[in-house]
Amino acid sequence: MANGMKVYHLPHVPVMQGDVAFLSFFNSLPLIRQILVREHIDIVHGHQSVSILQHVILMAAKSYGLKTVFTEHSLFGYGDFHGIHLNKLIKWSFRDLDAAVCVSNACKDNFVLRAKFDPIKSFTIPNAVDSKRFNPSPEIRKKEIERCGNPNQINIVFISRL
C-alpha cells in the first residue's frame, strides 16, 4: 500500500459453534507473534475496550515483553449485564498495560474505576488529539505547492470518532 502501510488479515477460525473470536486468541498467537517480530514492533496500541482483537493483540504483545498502550473512548456503566461482564474482562486483560489514554476527564475517571487501573499510568488527551502539537505548518504547505505545482490542491486530514 501507499506510504509503506501494511494490512494484515488474521483469520479467526471458530473453535466451537458460535465462537465470538475470544477463544481464537490461542489460534491467533502464532500469526500475531510473526507480525510483531517481522515488523520489529516496540509498542502496541489498542483502542476501544469492546474490541476483542485489540485485547488479544495487547495480551500477546505483553507476553512477548512489548510496551502496551490503550486508548478508551467510552463511558460504560457498572450495573447492567454488559457493563458488569466488560468490566471483568478489562480488569483481567488490562492488568499489565503500560499506559492508558482517555479522551476526557470523565472517561478517565470511569476507566480507572471500571478497570481498577492505576491513575498514575492513565492520561487524558481530549479527543485523543494533542492540539498543541497538531497545527498545520505554512512551510509544509509551501513545499507541497512547489512539489505538485498546483496551488489549488488542498490536502485534508480528518481525525474523528463516532
Q: For residue 161, what pLDDT is reported?
A: 47
| 70 grid coordinates | 490503550
- Which pLDDT value is given to residue 154? 65
- pLDDT per residue, tens digit, the chain (162 aa), is 566 777 877 766 555 555 555 556 677 788 888 889 988 899 999 888 887 778 888 988 998 999 999 998 888 777 788 888 888 888 888 989 999 999 889 999 989 998 999 999 999 988 766 667 767 777 877 887 788 777 776 666 555 544
pLDDT for res 30: 84
Question: Who contacts 48 (Cβ-Cβ below 8 Å, separation ≥6)?
Answer: 54, 71, 72, 73, 74
d(CA 102, CA 109): 9
Phi/psi of residue 135, nearest 5 degrees? -125, 135
pLDDT of residue 51: 78
Domains and CATH numbers, the chain: 8-133 (3.40.50.2000)
With cell 466451537, the residue in question is 16
Answer whether 14's CB lies under 8 Å from 24's CB: yes
Cβ atoms within 10 Å, residue 73: 17
Given this model, what pLDDT does residue 27 score?
Answer: 72
CA 90 to chain centre: 14
